[in-house]
Structure 1
Amino acid sequence: MKAVWMGIAAASALLMVGTAQANADLAKSSGCMNCHTADKKLVGPALKDIAAKYKGDAGAVDKLAVKVQKGSQGVWGPVPMPPNAKVSDADAKKLVEWILSLK
């Protein structure tokens, strides 16, 4: 029985790693990583800083998904985030959920 639980835990860990990699790949292909990095400010804020700012905000996923698609200005400084209309609603939400999961 212990082996079964260890197998389930290992499979879950592999699935999470695969999902995280898929989301990182989506961020790269969507252009997010041209201006953002995971842990330090580039042109835009670090993704981990975004996660920290919106931690506990129940409406953050929907609010930030709109910003991914339509752009934003003034939240993190004077440099605007350009709109990224090619990102679908579903992908924008996936990206934001992944960003908010970063620590």
Structure 2
Amino acid sequence: MSKSLISLSALSALALSAGLLSGAAQASEDLAKAKFCVGCHQIDKKLLGPAYKDVAKKYAGVAGAEGDLAKKIRGGSKGVWGGAEMPANSAVSEAEAATLAKWILSLK
């Protein structure tokens, strides 16, 4: 196989994976909207709760952050971002919480 054909195949694979990732990101944002997370959180600005990008910065490089965040999404938290309490969201399944946590932590 020629180098140009291999390079074209590699570029096609990258483009495809980028499209899939952006589709996954949109699906995760849609999930956040469906579960009413956006009533308190936005991607890049603080509302009642911190911006998702601020959460991603706070937990960048922290071991176990994805699992911890998923637990907070389902079970709520208090005192992590000051005095405000994040209520539990039992409408979010464990799988959905994991998806949301992974998405939030990917926002940089």
Asked whether the two chains share a fold, i.e. TM above 0.5, the reply is: yes
Alignment of structure 1 residues 61-72 onto 2, 5 Å: 61-72=66-77
Aligned length: 103
Correspondent of 2:44 among 36, 39, 44: 39
Amino acid in structure 1 at the alignment position of 2:105? L
Indicate the percent of aligned positions where both proteins have the same amino acid: 52
Tell whether 2:13 aligns with 1:12.
no
Return the offset for 1:79.
1.8
Q: TM-score, normalised by structure 2?
A: 0.91
CA distance in 1, matches of 2:9, 2:71: 42
What residue identity is the alignment partner of 1:62?
Answer: G
Give the whole-Å Cα distance in 2 for the aligned partners of 1:89 and 1:72.
Answer: 16
The answer for the alignment partner of 1:26 in structure 2 is 31
Q: Secondary structure at the match of 2:78?
A: coil
1:48 is matched with which residue: 53, 78, 91?
53
1:3 CA displacement: 2.1
Provide the alpha-carbon RMSD of the alignment.
Answer: 0.9
Hey, what does 1:86 align to over in structure 2?
91
TM-score normalised by length of structure 1: 0.95
Q: Which of structures 1 and 2 has the bigger CA Rg?
A: 2
